[in-house]
Amino acid sequence: MTINSVPALDLLRQYRELLPQVSRAMSQVVESGAFILGPDVGAFEKEVSEWMGSQFALGVSNGTDALFIALRALGVGQNDQVLSSPFTFFATVSATVNSGATPVFSEIDPNTFNLDANRVEEVLKQDKQRRIKAIIPVHLYGQACDMEAFQSLSKRYGVFLIEDACQSIGAVIKNKKTGNWSEFGCFSLYPTKNLGALGDAGIITTNDQALAEKVLAIRNHGSKIRYVHEIIGSNFRMDTVQAAALRVFLPHLNHWIESRQKIACFYDEQLGDLEQIVVPKKAPYSTHTYHQYTVRVLNGKRDAFKNHLSAQKIGHMVYYPIPCHLQKALSSLGYKKGDFPIAEQACEEVVSLPIFPGMSNEEQEYVVRAIKAFS
């Protein structure tokens, strides 16, 4: 078969064989009439908690809300600060702002694109008033942060840890999956994620029963008993139809992650020696689940590279073109260009290549040939 185009992602190819099971699961939900927090939600929570090795995995409306709920459950809010990465999806920051807290940033590691724990400590040392109440390390692209280092900072400086694991489901740090290294792990199950729902959904993991109880209340209007409201919450519930679909998908997640890792290995082998392209660096302390396979394009040639891929009909994306600290929505914080040069450079160089379960060898080879022709 002649290949003349490759999509960035093809969910139908990934799910085609599962469609009959999904259809049956949807029909069962409709017939039950239990559309909100129905039996499939509890069943999915149990199955995914076992898969993750967490004591609790609680279904919520989406990954953004998961981060907000985590901050609320820890009592982080007005007059507090939350430290995170300038190089992440804006939801990490918007959850902080919506909690009432103020975001502060620290520089990233140029190799992993994740927060650099040493630089984070410098920010904590400068926080003489101890306004920073939480750190949100973001496991970007499926590459886990150095959570042992962040746990050490958490203990020494008395700050909470919340893992933004929205892109890292299944990543393992020393035999323990992401989401288990902090007070809370927050996961997005947006359709394009390695484990995706048929719409919006998310998970919060914790190994603390008291915190789990708070999450259960916050996600349901502050109520654990109907019409009895102990705290102020809101509607952050997972739809039953999403849980039902996720129960079909979850048993395949290990295979899907392995498929991504094999494609990434092929890209590494084929592209690793090119002068203009820097392939992702895998941290020695963890596995990488390759939610995205993100390369750097050097010497100011990112736009030319993107145009070249487009001409070859190869799907690609830039995650993310503008760092959080330079977003207009945060202009009142006073950050300026040059404050985080490593993050800013990443925004100017990164491109994510096609990677998805079901991607054929011929498609992988087509992408590689096109990139070698550019280089």
CATH of the domain at 276: 3.90.1150.10
Residue 283 lies in a domain: yes
Task: Please indicate, yes or no, whether residues 171 and 257 belong to a single structural domain of this protein.
Answer: no
Mean pLDDT within 309-317: 99
Q: Give the CA angle between residues 327, 233, 178 to the nearest 5°.
A: 60
Residue 223: which domain range? 12-106+113-251
- Spatial contact of 185 and 207, defined as CB atoms under 8 Å apart: no
Task: Please indicate, yes or no, whether residues 307 and 215 belong to a single structural domain of this protein.
Answer: no
pLDDT in the model for residue 101: 99
Task: Please indicate, yes or no, whether residues 189 and 65 belong to a single structural domain of this protein.
Answer: yes
Instruction: Give the pLDDT band (50/70/90) at residue 364.
Output: very high
Task: State how far the Cα of 7 lies from the Cα of 349, in Å rounded to an integer.
Answer: 21
pLDDT exceeds cutoff 90 at 270: yes
Mean pLDDT within 153-166: 99
- Spatial contact of 229 and 222, defined as CB atoms under 8 Å apart: yes
Q: What is the DSSP letter of 235?
A: B
Residue 48 lies in a domain: yes
Q: Which residues of 180-197 are buried (b: 16+ CB within 10 A; e: fewer)?
A: bbbbbbbbbbbeebbbbb
**pTM as predicted:** 0.97
Task: Please indicate, yes or no, whether residues 243 and 266 belong to a single structural domain of this protein.
Answer: no
Task: Please indicate, yes or no, whether residues 235 and 288 belong to a single structural domain of this protein.
Answer: no
Task: Please indicate, yes or no, whether residues 180 and 60 belong to a single structural domain of this protein.
Answer: yes
Instruction: Give the pLDDT band (50/70/90) at residue 110.
Output: very high
pLDDT in the model for residue 193: 99
Using the 3D structure, point to which of 251, 277, 303 is the last residue of a domain: 251
Identify the bridge partners of residue 160 per DSSP, sorted by sequence position.
134
Task: State how far the Cα of 302 lies from the Cα of 292, in Å rounded to an integer.
Answer: 17
Task: Please indicate, yes or no, whether residues 245 and 124 belong to a single structural domain of this protein.
Answer: yes
Residue 332 lies in a domain: yes
Residue 133 lies in a domain: yes
Residue 7 lies in a domain: no
Domain count for the chain, please give it: 2
Task: Please indicate, yes or no, whether residues 45 and 180 belong to a single structural domain of this protein.
Answer: yes
Residue 236 lies in a domain: yes
pLDDT in the model for residue 218: 98
pLDDT in the model for residue 375: 76
- Spatial contact of 231 and 69, defined as CB atoms under 8 Å apart: no
Q: What is the CATH number of the domain that holds 195?
A: 3.40.640.10
Task: Please indicate, yes or no, whether residues 311 and 350 belong to a single structural domain of this protein.
Answer: yes
Percentage of residues of the chain with pLDDT beyond 90: 98
Q: What is the DSSP letter of 39?
A: H
Task: Please indicate, yes or no, whether residues 164 and 303 belong to a single structural domain of this protein.
Answer: no
- Spatial contact of 361 and 265, defined as CB atoms under 8 Å apart: no
Give Cβ neighbours of residue 151 (< 8 Å, ≥ 6 apart).
Answer: 161, 181, 182
pLDDT in the model for residue 224: 86
Task: Please indicate, yes or no, whether residues 226 and 100 belong to a single structural domain of this protein.
Answer: yes
pLDDT in the model for residue 75: 98
Using the 3D structure, point to which of 232, 251, 270 is the last residue of a domain: 251
Percentage of residues of the chain with pLDDT beyond 70: 100
Read off the tokens for 260.
Answer: 């991504």
Task: Please indicate, yes or no, whether residues 44 and 149 belong to a single structural domain of this protein.
Answer: yes
C-alpha dihedral sign at 154, 157, 158, 159? negative
Helix (H) and strand (E) counts in the chain: 13, 14
Residue 4 lies in a domain: no
pLDDT exceeds cutoff 80 at 1: no
- Spatial contact of 85 and 77, defined as CB atoms under 8 Å apart: no
Using the 3D structure, point to which of 199, 230, 251 is the last residue of a domain: 251
Residue with tokens 């002068």: 275
What average pLDDT does the structure give for the chain? Answer: 98
Residue 3 lies in a domain: no
Instruction: Give the pLDDT band (50/70/90) at residue 211.
Output: very high
pLDDT tens figures, 49-69: 999 999 999 999 999 999 999
